[in-house]
């Protein structure tokens, strides 16, 4: 144990901020057949721990059902990773696209219109269906209409799962950066993606909707250069589980210092920190704070931006996980530090030589204001979208 580190931030206490919901109850393990919502509601045997307490010679109905389901021949080949729910109301699964924090994402088809959609399967963490509060949140999300925010088309409930139906897009920004590299991420691309991201976020924030899990995987792009924010509000509706569906630890790389230090409030500034991290990553082609635990994440931030103190961030020492024994790192110059990234040096060569210095100084001024420690002084989406970085050459902006 390191005495400089508060107990909650010790390496072994990996994972996410403490002010989140409990990990979901594994209802799916005990109920795999077509149990209706009302059955779920009235059947107290649903809980897996209770199920385990039953004597083995008297298997419960649900356990028998699970055995039967497992023996059943698997689907007709459309979605090989799933057994019994290829048909979902008016939708049909086509193939699995990926999996993340909340569950599996499928490419699907709306039967009536043949429209291709994305179906995000989420295991419900609630034993009595979707709570009213979550339904209210979903209703708000359904109302959100902006060309840089994903449209939530529908919601289909099946057993203990809910499928969120949304627009389908070609690719996410993480894969794009990995696959295409610098030639697909020129100064113009960065400017356009940043502007679209800020416009979408400004719209969300003006409707009092926070994202709270912005990262390149949640920014979808199409072949025409359009960027769309996905998975909006999901963490608030369904709670952030400790681990992803595939048991990886949720990425902390885009999480702001106030949350890492245990603040139990969320403001729009939370998303703006993530925007700063994404902006830096587009410039360097590497995540700038790739921490593998909460404390590692914090220390990586401190090493670049200096260990925060009351002078630069009034109130920081009152945050639950702040420690006066944190090592004292001095702030580095971002522009100088970024020269250690090959991706950044490649980027420099792509600027118009006469404008390199001016363009970079605007870019770094914006970045610094996004990676501002004090959430009260961190740039808002509206202010960031108006930053001179975007207006040195207005023709580069894609609307």
Annotated binding-site residue numbers for ATP: 120
Of residues 20 and 323, the one with the C-beta less far from Mg ion: 20
Among 264, 230, 286, 259, which Cα is nearest to 102's? 230
Give which of ligand ATP, Mg ion, none residue 168 binds (C-beta under 5 to 8 Å, depending on kind).
ligand ATP
Binding site per annotation, positions: 120
Task: List all residues 6 or more positions away from 80 whose beta carbon is below 8 Å from its beta carbon.
Answer: 74
Token pair of 276, please? 């700063």
Among 167, 164, 169, 168, which Cα is nearest to 154's? 164
**Least CB distance to Mg ion at residue 101 (A):** 7
Q: Does 231 bind Mg ion (CB under 5 A)?
A: yes
Give which of ligand ATP, Mg ion, none residue 192 binds (C-beta under 5 to 8 Å, depending on kind).
none
Q: Does 166 bind ligand ATP (CB under 6 A)?
A: yes
Angstrom distance (rounded) from CA 231 to CA 163: 13
Angstrom distance (rounded) from CA 242 to CA 248: 9
Residues across the chain = 399
DSSP 119-146: EEEEE---BTBS-HHHHHHHHHHHH--B
Angstrom distance (rounded) from CA 187 to CA 123: 40
DSSP 140-185: HHHH--BTTB--EEEEEEETTEEEEEEE--SEEHHHHHHHHGGGGS
Of residues 98 and 388, the one with the C-beta less far from ligand ATP: 98
Among this protein's residues, is 159 annotated catalytic?
Answer: no
Angstrom distance (rounded) from CA 14 to CA 247: 13
Q: How many residues bind Mg ion (CB under 5 A)?
A: 3
Of residues 213 and 321, the one with the C-beta less far from ligand ATP: 213
Give which of ligand ATP, Mg ion, none residue 220 binds (C-beta under 5 to 8 Å, depending on kind).
ligand ATP
Among 46, 159, 172, 213, which one carries the catalytic annotation?
213
**Least CB distance to Mg ion at residue 17 (A):** 19
Please state, as a whole number, how many other Cβ atoms lie within 10 Å of the Cβ of residue 119.
28
Q: Does 118 bind ligand ATP (CB under 6 A)?
A: yes
**Least CB distance to Mg ion at residue 105 (A):** 7
Angstrom distance (rounded) from CA 97 to CA 239: 22
- By CB atoms closer than 10 A (0-12, 13-18, 19+), residue 85 is middle
Q: Does 193 bind ligand ATP (CB under 6 A)?
A: no
Among 217, 294, 359, 380, interactor with ligand ATP by CB under 6 A: 217
Angstrom distance (rounded) from CA 298 to CA 300: 5
Contact range with ligand ATP by CB under 6 A, out of 166-174, 259-267, 315-323, 360-368: 166-174
Of residues 169 and 319, the one with the C-beta less far from ligand ATP: 169
CA atoms within 13 A on the CB side of 224: 5
Backbone φ and ψ for 265, nearest 5 degrees, come out as: -125, 155
Q: How many residues bind ligand ATP (CB under 6 A)?
A: 19
Angstrom distance (rounded) from CA 74 to CA 84: 7
**Least CB distance to Mg ion at residue 218 (A):** 4
**Least CB distance to Mg ion at residue 319 (A):** 28
Contact range with ligand ATP by CB under 6 A, out of 44-52, 132-140, 168-176, 344-352: 168-176
Q: Does 218 bind Mg ion (CB under 5 A)?
A: yes
Contact range with Mg ion by CB under 5 A, out of 43-51, 109-117, 212-220, 346-354: 212-220
**Least CB distance to ligand ATP at residue 73 (A):** 28
Contact range with Mg ion by CB under 5 A, out of 7-15, 92-100, 291-299, 331-339: 92-100
Angstrom distance (rounded) from CA 335 to CA 280: 11
Among 133, 138, 137, 136, which Cα is nearest to 156's? 138
Contact range with ligand ATP by CB under 6 A, out of 12-20, 161-169, 264-272, 349-357: 161-169
Contact mark string toward ligand ATP, 91..110, x via CB under 6 A: ------xxxxxx--x-----
Of residues 100 and 291, the one with the C-beta less far from Mg ion: 100
Which single residue brings its beta carbon nearest to Mg ion? 231
What are the catalytic residues? 213
Where do contacts with ligand ATP occur on this chain (CB under 6 A)?
Answer: 97-102, 105, 118, 166-169, 172, 213, 217-218, 220, 230-231
Where do contacts with Mg ion occur on this chain (CB under 5 A)?
Answer: 100, 218, 231
């Amino acid at each position: 144990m390191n005495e400089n580190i508060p107990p909650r931030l010790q390496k072994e206490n990996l994972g996410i901020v403490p002010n989140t919901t409990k990990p979901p109850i594994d209802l799916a393990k005990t109920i795999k057949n077509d149990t209706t919502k009302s059955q779920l509601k009235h059947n107290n045997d649903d809980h897996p721990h209770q199920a385990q307490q039953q004597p083995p010679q008297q298997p419960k109905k649900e356990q028998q059902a699970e055995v039967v389901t497992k023996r059943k021949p698997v689907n007709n080949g459309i979605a090989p990773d799933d057994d019994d729910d290829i048909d979902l109301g008016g939708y049909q699964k086509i193939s699995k696209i990926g999996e993340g924090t909340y569950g599996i994402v499928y490419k699907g088809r709306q039967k009536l219109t043949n429209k291709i959609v994305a179906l995000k399967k989420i295991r419900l963490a609630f034993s009595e269906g979707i709570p009213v509060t979550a339904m209210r949140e979903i209703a708000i999300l359904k109302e959100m209409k902006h060309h840089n925010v994903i449209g939530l088309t529908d919601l289909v409930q099946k057993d203990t799962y809910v499928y969120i139906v949304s627009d389908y897009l070609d690719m996410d920004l993480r894969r794009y950066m990995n696959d295409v590299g610098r030639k697909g991420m020129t100064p113009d691309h960065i400017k356009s993606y940043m502007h679209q991201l800020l416009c979408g976020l400004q719209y969300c924030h003006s409707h009092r909707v926070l994202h709270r899990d912005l990262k390149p995987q949640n920014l979808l792009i199409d072949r025409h250069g359009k960027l769309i924010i996905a998975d909006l509000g999901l963490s608030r509706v369904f709670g952030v589980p400790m681990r992803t569906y595939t048991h990886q630890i949720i990425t902390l790389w885009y999480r702001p210092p106030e949350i890492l230090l245990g603040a139990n409030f969320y403001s729009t500034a939370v998303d703006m920190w993530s925007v700063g991290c994404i902006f830096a990553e587009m410039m360097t082609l590497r995540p700038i704070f790739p921490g593998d635990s909460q404390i590692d994440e914090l220390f990586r931030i401190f090493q670049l931006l200096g260990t925060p103190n009351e002078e630069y961030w009034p109130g920081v020492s009152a945050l639950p996980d702040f420690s006066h024994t944190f090592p004292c790192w001095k702030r580095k110059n971002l522009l100088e530090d970024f020269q250690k990234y090959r991706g950044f040096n490649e980027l420099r060569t792509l600027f118009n030589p006469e404008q390199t210095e001016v363009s970079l100084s605007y870019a770094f001024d914006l970045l610094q204001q996004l990676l501002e420690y004090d959430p009260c002084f961190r740039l808002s989406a509206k202010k960031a979208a108006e930053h001179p970085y975007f207006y040195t050459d207005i023709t580069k902006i894609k609307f």
